[in-house]
């Protein structure tokens, strides 16, 4: 076993989600992800599943919708302070980092609702500010997906786009012991509190090897440009020792099931089909190249590849992709934090010391 990435180490028992990397399945609390998304599950319904038995309103999507609406209004009260604190040099995720830092441990509102309500409000305000626009007041009667798109655009989104964003938020709501969830559970295990633990999750998500990849996927498609350049462009990337964004996964040895779920959703959006055809050509060429260069590794398409196309089809700026990922994944972080707080011991592994032993040093 390689110790550097904790491959194969079981860090917690969970009832929340199961990633079957050999079969390419993702199960959320006894439900196949594919079925949940095809059945039109909303973000609030996914949160209800994940929070059941861990939060008083868990299991009740209507109560969660109301609770998140109230949380968005509370977060709106902090938006002016957030915008004052964030200079234009901060990107959207860095802004969210500041925003979660503004939430007090003494807040009376349940912290899982507060965190999940605050992220879309803060993200929309930061993104609007980058366009020179003032923040808008949340509508507590709407679901998270509909209100986020409204807060971002200043006008209600069509139902098809709300459904597509809901499908995305459900798809990425939880995914076993991924790096950000692990980071959140480590902090939760010290009893530092849900807000601090969720902030740890956000910081881990930000990296390009985890939740920071979809923007670079679009950069890659743009850089390739047209079909004739696909093969030479990809080969040059690999030859330069760079990774192809949107491919490879620690657990999946087959195609990430979330990629297909999202591809179906993108295909349902009008005007998105041309880019899909090109992306599919890139995908085919990338998989062939990776199979040739890494024959023992079984690298396949991951969730970020079609995330990029979906969020682009929703006209969300690519700099915001990781922030939108955080809005969905926050439901999973909160569930894991509550599960960890309920019974887990402090997470405190060992390290293998490979440094020098104490003793006299001899000058060369
Ligand atoms: N392109 C090219 N080569 C790759 C890729 C890739 N996308 N992914 C893995 N490899 C290669 C590595 O270079 C490595 O080769 P080496 O052993 O010769 O150094 C080998 O395959 C194994 O790579 P590992 O880093 O051990 O794979 P690991 O399981 O640790 O990493 C990861 C998984 C981080 C997702 C990796 O595949 C990657 O960097 N992918 C690109 C970034 C990306 O798409 N991130 C989003 C992941 S999905 C998510 O987190 C939501």
Number of DSSP helices (H) and strands (E) in the chain, helices first: 16, 3
CA dihedral in degrees (143, 148, 154, 159; nearest 10)? -50
DSSP secondary structure string for all residues of 160-181 = HHHHHHHHHHHHTS--SS-HHH
pLDDT of 2 reads 61
**Which ligand 1 atom is the nearest neighbour of the CA of 179?**
50
pLDDT of 268 reads 85
Model confidence pLDDT, tens digit, residues 43-88:
999 999 999 999 999 999 999 999 999 999 999 999 999 999 999 8
**Which ligand 1 atom is the nearest neighbour of the CA of 178?**
50
Residues 6+ apart with CB under 8 A from 263: 276, 306, 309
Separation of CA 174 and ligand 1 centre (Å):
20
Q: What is the pTM of this model?
A: 0.93
pLDDT of 343 reads 87
Query: What residue owns the CA closest to ligand 1's atom 20?
Result: 297
Query: What residue owns the CA closest to ligand 1's atom 35?
Result: 249
Q: Which of 6, 206, 241, 248 to mutate to test the pocket of ligand 1 (most atoms within 8 A of CB)?
A: 248
Query: What residue owns the CA closest to ligand 1's atom 30?
Result: 250
pLDDT of 206 reads 95
Identify the CATH assignment for 214-313 out of 3.20.20.70, 2.130.10.10, 1.10.230.10, 1.20.20.10: 1.10.230.10
What is the CB < 6 Å shell around ligand 1?
Answer: 5, 209-211, 213, 243-250, 290, 294, 297, 299, 302-304
**Which ligand 1 atom is the nearest neighbour of the CA of 248?**
37
Question: Which residue stretches of the chain have pLDDT < 50?
Answer: none
Cα-Cα end-to-end distance for the chain: 37
Query: What residue owns the CA closest to ligand 1's atom 36?
Result: 248
Domain 16-207+322-343 of CATH type 3.30.70.20 = no
Paired residues of 19 in beta bridges: 26
Separation of CA 349 and ligand 1 centre (Å):
24
pLDDT of 340 reads 97
CA Rg, the chain, in Å? 21
Model confidence pLDDT, tens digit, residues 146-184:
999 999 999 999 999 999 999 999 999 999 999 999 999
Separation of CA 297 and ligand 1 centre (Å):
10
Separation of CA 249 and ligand 1 centre (Å):
6
Paired residues of 27 in beta bridges: 18, 32
Query: What residue owns the CA closest to ligand 1's atom 8?
Result: 248
Q: Which of 243, 254, 261, 295 to mutate to test the pocket of ligand 1 (most atoms within 8 A of CB)?
A: 243
16-207+322-343 matches 214-313 in fold: no
Separation of CA 293 and ligand 1 centre (Å):
13
Active site amino acids:
249, 304
User: Rounded distance, CA 297 to CA 289, Å?
Assistant: 12
Contact (CB, 8 A) for 343 and 337: no
Q: Where are the domains of the chain?
A: 16-207+322-343, 214-313
CA 325 vs. chain centroid, Å, equals 3
Query: What residue owns the CA closest to ligand 1's atom 12?
Result: 243
Paired residues of 28 in beta bridges: 17, 31
pLDDT of 364 reads 55
């Amino acid at each position: 076993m390689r110790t550097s990435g904790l491959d194969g180490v079981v860090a917690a028992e969970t009832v929340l989600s199961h990633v079957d990397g050999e079969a390419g399945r993702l199960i959320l609390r006894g439900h196949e992800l594919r079925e949940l998304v095809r059945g039109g599950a909303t973000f609030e319904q996914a949160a209800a599943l994940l929070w059941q038995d861990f939060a008083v309103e868990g299991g009740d999507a209507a109560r969660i919708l109301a609770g998140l609406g109230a949380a968005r209004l509370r977060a709106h009260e902090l938006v002016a302070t957030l915008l004052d604190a964030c200079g234009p040099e901060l990107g959207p995720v860095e802004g969210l980092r500041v925003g979660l830092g503004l939430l007090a441990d003494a807040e009376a509102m349940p912290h899982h609702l507060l965190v999940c309500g605050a992220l879309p409000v803060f993200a929309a305000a930061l993104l609007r500010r980058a366009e020179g626009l003032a923040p808008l007041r949340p509508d507590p009667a709407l679901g998270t997906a509909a209100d986020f798109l409204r807060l971002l655009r200043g006008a209600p989104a069509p139902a098809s786009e709300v459904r597509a964003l809901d499908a995305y938020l459900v798809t990425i709501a939880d995914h076993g012991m991924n790096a950000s969830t692990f980071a959140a559970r480590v902090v939760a295990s010290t009893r530092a509190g849900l807000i601090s633990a969720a902030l740890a999750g956000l910081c881990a998500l930000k990296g390009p090897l985890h939740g920071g990849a979809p923007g670079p996927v679009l950069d890659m498609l743009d850089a390739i440009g047209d079909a004739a350049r696909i093969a030479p462009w990809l080969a040059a990337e690999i030859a330069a020792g760079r990774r192809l964004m949107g491919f490879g996964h620690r657990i999946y040895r087959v195609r990430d099931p979330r990629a297909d779920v999202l591809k179906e959703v993108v295909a349902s959006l009008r005007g998105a089909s041309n880019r899909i055809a090109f992306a599919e050509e890139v995908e085919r060429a990338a998989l062939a190249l990776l199979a040739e260069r890494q024959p023992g590794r079984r690298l396949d398409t991951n969730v970020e590849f079609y995330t990029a196309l979906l969020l682009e089809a929703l006209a969300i700026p690519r700099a915001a992709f990781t922030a939108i990922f955080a809005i969905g994944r926050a439901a999973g972080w909160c569930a894991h934090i509550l599960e960890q707080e309920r019974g887990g011991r402090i997470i405190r592994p060992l390290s293998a010391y490979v440094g020098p032993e104490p003793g006299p040093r001899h000058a060369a």
